[in-house]
Amino acid sequence: MSQGITGPINYRCPQCLFRAIDYDLLYDKEQEQYYCRRCNWEGDESEILGYYAVYKSQYKHRLKRWTVEMIEAKDEEA
């Protein structure tokens, strides 16, 4: 097996992401597979994106726009 390389996209390990560690994945071009050198995660791009989607779900308002007025209005909320 030849050395792992940076993949077509430089993904971070989704498993490490969930425990707040940024760790770049390597890509095994022979097996067309990404893998992590820190933990035991390996998988393809669709699995990575699936994990990322779950990760993003912690930010329930990541697409919500909060303006000055809306943030100030929170002061009045019990």
Partner 1 sequence: MDKFIINVIHRPELVPEYINTDAVEGKADDLGAEEVVGESLDIFRLQQDIAHRNGIKCTIQMTYAALYNDEAIALAKQYHEEFGDEIAHTFLGVNCEEFREKYGLKDPAIWLYHMDDKKRIVVDSFERFKEVFGFYPTSTGSYYMDAELIAFMKEKYPMVKIAVATCFEEGPKVFRHANNSWYTIMDGAPWTAWVPSKYNSQAIAENEEDDLGIVAVPHLSRDLLAIQDNAGDMFGTHPQNVIRGLINEGDRLPFQYNLIDQYQVMKKYNKGYSYNLIYVGPGWMGKAGRWETGYETLVKSYEDMMAYYGDLKKEGKAEDLTMTEFADWYRENKAINEPCCALWKDTLFGTKNQVFWYADSQMRATVEMKMGGAIVDLRPYASKLRRPVGAGTKANQDASYPYIVHSRYRAGPFVHYAGEGAIKSAKIRFGKEEVDLSSCRTTATYEEGDGWRKCILRPVTVEFQTLEVQIQTSYTFKENTGEIIISRKVVGSSDPTKKVVIDEFLTSCWGTTEYPEDLTGCTLSVIGKDGERNDLSYDYRCREFKTDEAATVEAVIPMVQTKVSLTPENEGCAGYYEEGYSFAPNLKIGVHKEIALDEALVSTFKIEQADGVNS
Which residue ranges make up the site for partner 1 (CB under 8 A)? Answer: 3-6, 9-12, 17, 20-23, 26, 38, 52, 55-56, 58-68, 71-72, 74-75, 77-78
Shortest Å distance, C-beta 48 to partner 1: 9
Picking from 36, 43, 45, 46, the residue whose alpha carbon sits closest to that of residue 16 is 36
Tell me the two tokens of residue 10.
């430089």
- Residue closer to partner 1 by CB (options 8, 32) is 8
- Residue closer to partner 1 by CB (options 46, 67) is 67
Shortest Å distance, C-beta 76 to partner 1: 8
Angular region, 20: left φ>0, alpha ψ -120 to 50, beta rest:
left
